[in-house]
Amino acid sequence: MRIAVVGGTGQVGAAVVARLKRDGHEAVVVARSTGVDVLTGEGLDEALAGADAVIDVTSTPSMDPTETAEFFGASTGNQIAAEQRAGVGHHVLLSIVGIDRAQSNPHYVGKRRQEEVALAGDVPVTILRATQFHNFPAMAAGWTRRNGASTLAPLVIQPVDIGDVADELVAIATAPPQPGRREIAGPEVHDLLDLARRTFAARGESVTVTPSWKAMSTDMAGDVLLPGPDARIATTTFDEWLAGEAGHQQGPAVYRAVAPDPIDPGVTVGHVHLRTADIDRIRGFYVDLLGFNVVMEARDVPGWGTKGDILFVSAGGYHHHIGFNTWKSAGGPPQPDGVTGLHHIALRYPTRAGLADALRRLRSVDWPIRQATDHGTHEAIYISDPDGNDVELMCDRPFDQWPHDDQGHLTGAIDAELDLDALAELR
């Protein structure tokens, strides 16, 4: 089946996509990072073309009830409308146990709106309400974490594994539609503070967690977050999840974790400024060999209490991607080992053909290539520029081709050798 996973790059979404692929289905990853914005509807018609079902596992970090209602209302309305146009036969939506009972939780305001809008459309809808995930206690403690201390409301929860939730979403979406609401929960009831403390301990983080109702409303107290008698009880326990979590702390880092107080998602790294020994030499490399455009170039300009040369280069129309100056470095040697500072800059080529072109340029002058690696997430060629700065020329793989396990953790070929001869052939 062809199934669109809306929010397919998120923590639940990545687990759903991994399972769909494992089972031989075609998973379409829908997220802003894959060019689709469900809030505006941009790219949605193209993404849903030919889809048999849609699994909605989007989320918003907002803690404002008006914003969450707007996000989930608009994103769901846009999905249902696009599904009707595309003839999608089933909309599967992940919601949360207890959202009707804990009325004042701002996220739940949005989730109620999401369910309401989905059910008002003409597409058959199955809602799976899950209890809190195993990583929820530490995540919630992160909302108030300051200087090694954090507060949490003393909630009673029955946490469920994200992998078990993903299994259930896939089972629902790949079966003939049986519209309605279902619940899924983990096998054990726990105390929220205890789970947060145990998670921090397993991660080797020193955080004092004390009970408080300041950051959560009292309508979440008691049995409010526990599932009803008909809920499916998944098997993975908190201890089993925690054991895996501790293992992941020692292996490659978790590639996606939401910060306790996330930065504006629109922020990107703009440009780097490098000290160069010689403007003409550096120009020869970045402009004449790699092909960057010169945006600005000047000699003997005042700066930093002295005079020096500057060169700003850019790919395309940006004001500059890399700036060079000689104010403090004219004629200077490369940065020695044993000092802190820049490790390398990465130049991101939008296509493999672009990276192949860069490789041919390097080979045309026998520029030394230190390493060529297929990281799974991206292919990379490592070189040094004439000032001895390390430079990575790289091309990203689409997110859905990243090697990750069913929990979304990076796995697999993260340092395989890149076949440069094959790459050089690509036009």
Ligand X SMILES: NC(=O)c1ccc[n+]([C@@H]2O[C@H](COP(=O)([O-])OP(=O)(O)OC[C@H]3O[C@@H](n4cnc5c(N)ncnc54)[C@H](OP(=O)(O)O)[C@@H]3O)[C@@H](O)[C@H]2O)c1
Q: How many CB atoms lie within 10 A of CB 392?
A: 18
Q: CB of residue 194 vs ligand X: minimum separation in angstroms?
A: 16
Q: Which of 1, 39, 119, 424 binds ligand X (CB under 6 A)?
A: 39
Q: Which of 3, 4, 13, 312 binds ligand X (CB under 6 A)?
A: 13
Q: CB of residue 64 vs ligand X: minimum separation in angstroms?
A: 15
Only segment of 29-37, 169-177, 193-201, 212-220 that touches ligand X (CB under 6 A):
29-37
Q: Is 36 in the site for ligand X (CB under 6 A)?
A: yes
The nearer residue to ligand X, 184 or 274, going by C-beta atoms, is 184
Q: Is 238 in the site for ligand X (CB under 6 A)?
A: no
The nearer residue to ligand X, 12 or 216, going by C-beta atoms, is 12
Only segment of 36-44, 209-217, 318-326, 367-375 that touches ligand X (CB under 6 A):
36-44
Q: Is 7 in the site for ligand X (CB under 6 A)?
A: yes
The nearer residue to ligand X, 186 or 308, going by C-beta atoms, is 186
Q: Which of 126, 132, 150, 151 binds ligand X (CB under 6 A)?
A: 132
Per rule CB under 6 A, count of chain residues that contact ligand X: 25
The 3-class SS string of the chain reads CEEEEECCCCHHHHHHHHHHHHCCCEEEEECHHHCCECCCCECHHHHHCCCCEEEECCCCCCCCHHHHHHHHHHHHHHHHHHHHHHCCCCEEEEEECCCCCCCCCHHHHHHHHHHHHHHHCCCCEEEEEECCECCHHHHHHHCCCECCEEEECCCEECCECHHHHHHHHHHHHHCCCCCEEEEEECCCCEEHHHHHHHHHHHCCCCCEEEECCCCCCHHHCCCCCCCCCCCEECCCCHHHHHHHHHHHHHCCCCCCCCCCCCCCCCCCCCCEEEECCCHHHHHHHHHHHCCCEEEEEEEEEEECCEEEEEEEEECCCCCCCEEEECCCCCCCCCCCCCCCCCCEEEEECCCHHHHHHHHHHHHHCCCCCCEEEECCCEEEEEEECCCCCEEEEEEECCHHHCCECCCCCECCCCCEECCHHHHHHCC
Q: Which of 4, 12, 196, 216 binds ligand X (CB under 6 A)?
A: 12
Supply 387's token pair.
């000032």
- The footprint of ligand X on residues 247-286 (CB under 6 A) is 258
The nearer residue to ligand X, 220 or 311, going by C-beta atoms, is 220
Q: Which of 2, 25, 32, 232 binds ligand X (CB under 6 A)?
A: 32
Q: Which of 51, 54, 58, 380 binds ligand X (CB under 6 A)?
A: 58
The nearer residue to ligand X, 185 or 290, going by C-beta atoms, is 185
Residue 21: φ, ψ to 5°: -65, -45
- The footprint of ligand X on residues 101-130 (CB under 6 A) is 111, 130
Q: Which of 37, 52, 64, 278 binds ligand X (CB under 6 A)?
A: 37
Residue 68: φ, ψ to 5°: -65, -40
Q: Is 20 in the site for ligand X (CB under 6 A)?
A: no
Q: Which residue is nearest to ligand X (CB)?
A: 10
The nearer residue to ligand X, 59 or 174, going by C-beta atoms, is 59
The nearer residue to ligand X, 136 or 349, going by C-beta atoms, is 136
Q: CB of residue 150 vs ligand X: minimum separation in angstroms?
A: 17
Residues within the interface to ligand X (CB under 6 A)? 7-13, 31-33, 36-39, 57-59, 94, 96, 111, 130, 132-133, 136, 258
